[in-house]
C-alpha cells in the first residue's frame, strides 16, 4: 500500500501542492495557468498552515490504518479500501452530518466551501492513475510516496 509522507521541515509554504490539488480536481479541464483561485468549486483537499514561528505545517489526509473518520461515518460514505489502503469517499452516500470532520484527529476533512453538503478529502488522485498531483508539484520534495506494509 502506498502512503503520502510529509517532512514539514522541508516545506517552505510555496503552495504548489495546494494549487496542483485544486487544478487536479477542478470541474473544467484547463491548465494551472487559468485556474480560478476565487472559485469555491476549485477548493483544495490539503492545507498549508503558517505557524507563529514562521514555519509551515502541511495538513494532508493520512489514510489512517484505523481511521476515525470511517468509524464515525454513520451513512457509510467513508470506507477503508482493503486492497489499496486508501480511505475512500462516496459522495452519493454522504448525509452531510460531518461527524467525520469532527472526529478526524488531524483536522484534515472539511465541508466543501460552496454547498456545505459534502466533504473534501484526498482521493490520492486515483482518477489520474499515477502519482498524486501534490507530490509531483512539490519542488522541495517535502511530500513523497512510500510503500508501507498492510
DSSP-derived secondary structure letter, 82:
T
pLDDT of residue 103: 97
Residues 6 or more apart from 48 whose CB is under 8 A from it? 11, 13, 15, 17, 18, 56, 57, 58, 59
Q: What is the pLDDT of residue 41?
A: 85
Indicate the pTM of the whole model. Answer: 0.89
Q: Which run of H or of E encompasses 33?
A: none
Rg from Cα positions in the chain: 15
pLDDT in tens, 9-41: 999 999 999 999 999 988 787 888 999 998 888
| Residue 125 backbone dihedrals phi, psi, to 5 degrees | 50, 45
Q: For position 150, what pLDDT does the model report?
A: 63
Confidence at residue 28, expressed as pLDDT on a 0 to 100 scale: 80
Ordered domains of the chain (ranges, CATH): 1-60+122-150 (3.30.70.20), 65-120 (3.30.70.20)
List, in sequence order, the alpha helices (H) in 6-143: 16-24, 68-72, 99-103, 133-137
Q: Which three cell numbers stand for residue 14?
A: 510555496
pLDDT one digit per residue (tens) for the chain, 150 residues: 888 899 999 999 999 999 999 999 887 878 889 999 988 888 999 999 999 999 999 999 989 999 999 999 999 999 999 999 999 999 999 999 999 999 999 999 999 988 999 999 999 998 877 789 999 999 999 999 998 876
Q: What nine digits make up the cell of 4?
A: 503520502
Amino acid at each position: 500500500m502506498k502512503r503520502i509522507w510529509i517532512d514539514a521541515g522541508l516545506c517552505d509554504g510555496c503552495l504548489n501542492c495546494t494549487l496542483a490539488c485544486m487544478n487536479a480536481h477542478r470541474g473544467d479541464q484547463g491548465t494551472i495557468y487559468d485556474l480560478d483561485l476565487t472559485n469555491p468549486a476549485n477548493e483544495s483537499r490539503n492545507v498549508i498552515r503558517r505557524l507563529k514561528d514562521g514555519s509551515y505545517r502541511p495538513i494532508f489526509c493520512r489514510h489512517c490504518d484505523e481511521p476515525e473518520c470511517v468509524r464515525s461515518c454513520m451513512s457509510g460514505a467513508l470506507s477503508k479500501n482493503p486492497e489499496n489502503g486508501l480511505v475512500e469517499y462516496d459522495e452519493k452516500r454522504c448525509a452531510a452530518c460531518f461527524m467525520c470532520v469532527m472526529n478526524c484527529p488531524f483536522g484534515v476533512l472539511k465541508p466543501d466551501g460552496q454547498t456545505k453538503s459534502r466533504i473534501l478529502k484526498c482521493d490520492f488522485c486515483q482518477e489520474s492513475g499515477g502519482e498524486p498531483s501534490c507530490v509531483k508539484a512539490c519542488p522541495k520534495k517535502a511530500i513523497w510516496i512510500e510503500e508501507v506494509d498492510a
